[in-house]
Amino acid sequence: MEIRELKKVMDKLSLAEKIGQLAQVTPNFFGNQGEITGPMSEWSMGMDQLYQVGSVLGTHRGTEVRKIQEDYLAHSQHQIPLMFMADVIHGYETIFPIPLALASSFDPELIEKVAKVSAAEAASEGIQVTFSPMADYVKDPRWGRVLESNGEDPRLSRALTEAYVKGYQGTNLATESHRVAACVKHFVGYGAAEGGRDYNTVDFSDVELYQNYLPAFEGAIANGVKMVMTSFNSLHGVPVTGNRKLIKGILRDELGFDGVVISDWAAIAELMNHRVAENPREAAKKAFEATVDIDMMTDCYLNELAEMIETKEQLKKLDEAVWRFLTLKNELGLFENPYRGLDVTVDLSELQELSYQAALNSAVLLKNNAVLPLESTEKILLIGTKATTQDVLGAWSWIGDSKKAISLASGLKQQFSEVQLISVTDQLDKKAIEQAIQVADKVIIAVGEKSEEAGEAASRAELKLTAIELELIDLLATDEIEKILVTFSGRPLVLTDVVEKVDAIVSAWFLGSQTGDALAMLLSGAENFTAHLPMSFPRSVGQLPYSYQEMSTGRPQTKENYHEKYISRYMDEENHPLYCFGHGLSYSEFQYKNFSLSSDTLTKEEELTVSFEVMNNSKIKGWALPQLYFQDEVTEVIRPKIELLKWTKVELAAGETKKVEFVVSPADLAYSHIDLKKTVESGGFRLFLGESVANIVAESRFLLT
């Protein structure tokens, strides 16, 4: 629709009709079953208001979308179509690895492909907007929603967030009906919930906000993301959904976002629970003045905004909000085709193949004492709470069918002729286990979380394996049989108690529909491990929140003062994690050499080339992940001891050597100063080449002048 025609539609709307566009409901209001992802409350809404609302969230199928849209348009005076939104977090019906697992690939191209095909499958069922990607910066795996994140590094998170937006949205939503609009979330600070407890209070400095929490959102906005969702938490003492300084001041004015802002589920009404609003009208007023456009699943806007529109300025703000939303509907081509996407055909074999490839690139080999890969002739005992389960999809797989997911047991049976299975529930049959061990060559212990034990509203104070799982590992530890631990989870787990009792560890996260086949191929050596941790595995929950980006402090722990008392350390635990950021093993062995810089000085108008060679010293094709870190030696505000700067995935045949180059510009070295402006200073910088943040293989220094 031409802009002038859209303006004509806008001009015809009454005050009530404009406000209605800003209300979002579930399919239940139209007599259909929808996905419920939050608390339901009583509403006050007449039938006339129902046929004025602007959007629906949580439909299941295209038939449902068509039915609701037809009914709505039959009652709509101005024929403004509904917009349909859903939580397409890591796939729609074909489920991919959870985002934290996908982040283990360190591969923006893979993630863009996953987002593209996920969008197509969702669009074919009438979905036009996905509540993804999640750009929250995270440091605390007690918070269940880390599974939706890109991990603990803001630079990696920005790159992957950008990839999601590109994959979902493409280049033209109006003509590409197999794409969907992306909604980046949660603005801002949700990942810092105190104690890792969902929906809890948040507080941190402005420097922390600008340096670590905003970059991923900046990346999404720079790539044209259409929507932003506010977070449940407070920040600087004010709940974000009613925080004008954060939404209007920073998101819109500073970051330049001119699209649609939507609240999270019932977040506007929850301003009353925060006790910053006395009643629904005050809650609506705070959110509206903060420039939140859409009220998700409350009637605050629907029943309170009209009484607030008393001046021309207030009417102008309302018109701006409605115009933003109508513009997005127009960009999606909904006025020409209210049933957008329902004619899209999806190649399910392509989705399944990409799900398999994504799973291969997301499982992380944490430990291997030469027991992997398994030999095809070996007799395998598969035992544990997750041995035969198809609960491998993860918390946001609400359309996915776990009955169609490939279990680890099923995958292994395709690769090995002799696989014994013992599924563990609430007690151990020690006699059966001992008998099984006698005829097995190696044992795979499959343990970990259930899908519902990670995700929204799934915070945990303890991250160890369950008592029955620990008992099983202790029992097996008494036998000399070689043991491979495979953990399923939506977060990093605390494995300190078991790491020395097994010979190999694989973090399988939740890998999606093709889990079993992918893991079997990796364990057998038919495929090689390529993934690396985007989030550290702590030694203890007492270390949390944790990030590898540790500040020096006035009394930093070093190799030289390691055993001294009056330094920043624990008396009963190490400072470092069990498995660090960037860690990930392979069946290949890589060697780095000839690390050099193009110059030992850099001006603010130049670029620096970092070059080195990486060699595959094994007889197995592999993928190295060289990681370039840096340290700014003297800064205005405290900075981390070490920060990720660049990374790349390098495919190497057996015995092959390749030259790799990273180009570093002064802008790459900028950080947020006291005035919150991101600039770079002259001075000394150190560069570190690593296989992980804790395994540095080369370093050098240059001077920025």
**Which residues are catalytically annotated?**
264
At CA 467, angle to CA 465 and CA 468, rounded to 5?
100
E strands present in 392-497: 419-423, 442-448, 482-488
Length of the chain: 705
Return the HEC string of 483-508. EEEEEECCCCCCCCCCHHHCCEEEEC
Identify whether the C-beta of residue 80 lies closer than 8 Å to the C-beta of residue 326: yes
C-alpha 151/C-alpha 271 separation (Å) is 29
List the structure tokens of 252. 């819109």
For residues 622-644, one letter each, b for 16 or more C-beta atoms within 10 angstroms of the residue's C-beta and e for the rest, the string is bbbbbbbbbbbeeeeeebbebbb
Closest to 263 in 3D by CA, of 236, 294, 289: 294
Residue with tokens 């079993």: 516
Collect all residues with Cβ–Cβ distance below 8 Å to 558 and sequence separation of at least 6.
none
C-alpha 230/C-alpha 179 separation (Å) is 23
Closest to 356 in 3D by CA, of 110, 701, 153, 127: 110
Cα 648 to chain centroid distance, Å, stands at: 20
What is the 8-class DSSP label of residue 407?
P
Identify whether the C-beta of residue 622 lies closer than 8 Å to the C-beta of residue 528: yes
Q: CA torsion angle for 32, 33, 37, 38 (degrees, to 10)?
A: 60
Identify whether the C-beta of residue 32 lies closer than 8 Å to the C-beta of residue 67: yes
Q: Give the Å distances, CA to CA, from 39 to 197, 270, 297.
A: 17, 11, 9
Neighbours of 46 (CB within 10 A): 10
**Treating both helix axes as pointing N-terminal to C-terminal, what angle do 515-524 and 348-360 enclose, rounded to 10 degrees?**
40
C-alpha 186/C-alpha 143 separation (Å) is 14
The DSSP annotation for 516-561 comes to HHHHHHHHHTSS------SS-B-S-GGG-S--S--B--SS---STT
Alpha helices, DSSP H only, in 192-345? 206-208, 215-222, 244, 280-289, 300-308, 312-331
List the structure tokens of 697. 């293989």
Q: How many CA atoms lie within 13 A of 537 on its CB side?
A: 27
Identify whether the C-beta of residue 75 lies closer than 8 Å to the C-beta of residue 51: yes
What is the 8-class DSSP label of residue 453?
G
**Which residue type occupies 635?**
T
C-alpha 295/C-alpha 300 separation (Å) is 7
Q: Give the Å distances, CA to CA, from 596 to 610, 642, 702.
A: 6, 19, 11
C-alpha 546/C-alpha 538 separation (Å) is 8
Closest to 511 in 3D by CA, of 374, 357, 348, 380: 357
Neighbours of 2 (CB within 10 A): 8
Identify whether the C-beta of residue 686 lies closer than 8 Å to the C-beta of residue 645: no
C-alpha 163/C-alpha 110 separation (Å) is 9
Sign of the C-alpha dihedral computed for residues 197, 532, 509 and 573 taken in this order: negative
Identify whether the C-beta of residue 365 lies closer than 8 Å to the C-beta of residue 106: no
